[in-house]
Amino acid sequence: MEALASVLNKKYKLASSENFDEVMKALGVGWMTRKVGGTVNPVIELTENDGTYTLTSQSTFKNTATVFKIGEEFEEETPDGRKVKSIITQEGNKLTHVQKGEKETTIVREFTPEEVKMVITVDDIVSTRIYKAV
Ligand code: ACD
């Protein structure tokens, strides 16, 4: 938990995104959502209270809050409306988020005070999204 202290309560905005449309296609996300999802630049923030983390994402497309404890499975609805079972584990400043549904998605978020590097993998498709501190 210590490793994340310096990145809590900080806002990061999406600055670059590669291959995200391919990942959304692999997940079966419909055309409209792909078009909108591909153009927004969400702002994310990680907060913590007594071992419970909340990762918020705000954009004109959707506002979401993912509430979790490290290593404890939870149910989650993805931005495109799929219900998945998720687990988030921590290694230093890196959170690995695995979503199990019809397909398995792995989202690695590496936090530094300057940026969050997000790597999303579905099947053999990889998307990298960089969020910069605002
Ligand atoms: C982000 C993207 C998080 C996406 C992670 C895995 C792919 C799952 C679903 C994608 C479906 C639709 C995407 C639509 C909008 C994405 C941006 C809004 C996020 C709330 O967090 O950068």
Does the beta carbon of 26 sit less than 6 angstroms from any atom of ligand 1? no
pTM tops 0.85: yes
In whole angstroms, give the CA distance from residue 93 to residue 17. Answer: 21
Rounded distance from Cα 75 to ligand 1 centre (Å): 16
Rounded to 5, what percent of the chain is helix, strand, coil? 15, 55, 30
The pLDDT of residue 18 is 98
Rounded distance from Cα 12 to ligand 1 centre (Å): 15
In whole angstroms, give the CA distance from residue 75 to residue 43. Answer: 22
Amino acid at 6: S
Q: What is the pLDDT of residues 43-77, one digit of tens each?
A: 999 999 999 999 999 999 999 999 999 999 999 99
Does the beta carbon of 33 sit less than 6 angstroms from any atom of ligand 1? yes
Q: Is the pLDDT of residue 2 over 90?
A: no
Q: Which helix (H) or strand (E) holds 12?
A: strand 11-18
